[in-house]
Amino acid sequence: MTLEAYTPRAGMPAPIRPGTAGIDQKGNLTLHQADLERAGIGDRAVVLIDAAAMLLALRRPAADEADLVVAVGTLGTKHGKPSPRRQVWIRGPLEAMRLEPDQVAGRLVVRHEPNIVVIALNEELPKDLR
């Protein structure tokens, strides 16, 4: 007889934790609120891209950058509990980098620079941290 461990919620991704990000196949970037707060980002951000290095970054917008601002939304809450997950639509920035969301979909590492959250699109999160 061969027994294997039952994994609850099989097929469901692990929750987003600080230091991790997720990109789905539609082009939604999901981050932990603590990572955004560390960079001083609230409900609005400016998306920065470096296509050659495959980097995507978020920073707090300056007062004169209203035309560059994207919304940072809060994902749904469960049973009235506030959700620590925040979401940004990045399909446009990905297309500007000549990438499709399904090419970079998955769990990624979040790095912090002064006042900036940086995600390397070619640096997948190690399996032990998922």
pLDDT, tens digit, for every residue of 64-84?
988 888 888 887 666 667 778
Q: Would you say residue 129 has pLDDT above 60?
A: no
pLDDT, tens digit, for every residue of 10-21?
555 667 889 999
Residue-range domain boundaries for the chain: 30-129
DSSP 69-104: EEE-EEPPPBTTBPP-EEEEE-HHHHHHTT--HHHH
Q: How many CA atoms lie within 13 A of 23 on its CB side?
A: 26
- Starting at the earlier edge strand, list the strands of the sheet with 44-50: 69-71, 44-50, 55-59, 116-124, 106-113, 20-23, 28-32, 85-89, 73-74
* pTM, rounded to two decimals: 0.80
Residue for token pair 């609230």? 42
Euclidean distance between the first and the last CA atom of the chain, given in angstroms as a whole number: 30
